[in-house]
Amino acid sequence: MIGKLKGLIDEYADGYVIVDVGGVGYEVYCSNQTLQSLPSVGEAATVLIETHVREDQIKLFGFASSLERDWFRLLTTVQGVGQKVALAILSTLKISELTSAIALQDKAMVARTPGVGPKVAQRIVSELKDKTPSLAATDKAVANLQAEIDAVGAPKAMAEAVSALTNLGYAQVQASAAVATVIKREGDGLGTAALIRHALKELSQ
């Protein structure tokens, strides 16, 4: 099995890149974010690989980071999420956004991905909610949201508050952590406006 390719970028195409390793061109399918992070044609690159073998083909999926590869593997464990859909999700959402969406149980954010309907989005946030922290060690604030979210019947106000704060320029992780802190202190009865107001105070400290 191929786990990594190190070679020259030979060609970019729609949804994949060809990596020339010792004169052999490997067709590697990637998310848009990975494709955008790779160097120009003719330059050296290292791509982490997930190899999928079927009776009729061998397909390579490439990633710029081990974290993105881990998310790809995790997403494909969900019923209805194949390799194509997993790449589409990783092309639409940043890792921090995907982590936050699952922690907040925000299926609407996941459903922004072309080809992902409400039912599949719901399965993704439901089935992966207990697996997110192990993949999001660098986003501990978001991962720790899970305990708070579990105590909240309706996360709509939380999701709206986080969205409003990110629109104001705060990072997704900062906004999510601030909202979680407010709910832990004030309880889950606050509306969107109150959540935003209290969260802004947290962020200004």
Quick: pLDDT tens for 19-73. 999 999 999 999 999 999 999 999 999 999 999 988 888 999 999 988 899 999 9
pLDDT digit string, tens, across residues 132-154: 644 444 344 444 554 444 444 43
| DSSP 8-state code for residue 46 | E
- pTM for the model: 0.68
Q: What are phi and psi of 170, to 5 degrees?
A: -80, 150
- Other C-beta atoms closer than 10 Å to the C-beta of 45 total 19
Nearest to 84, CA basis, from 127, 122, 113? 113
Phi, psi of 6 (to 5 degrees): -130, 115
Between residues 176 and 88, which one has the greater pLDDT? 88
Lowest mean pLDDT among 13-27, 105-119, 144-158: 144-158
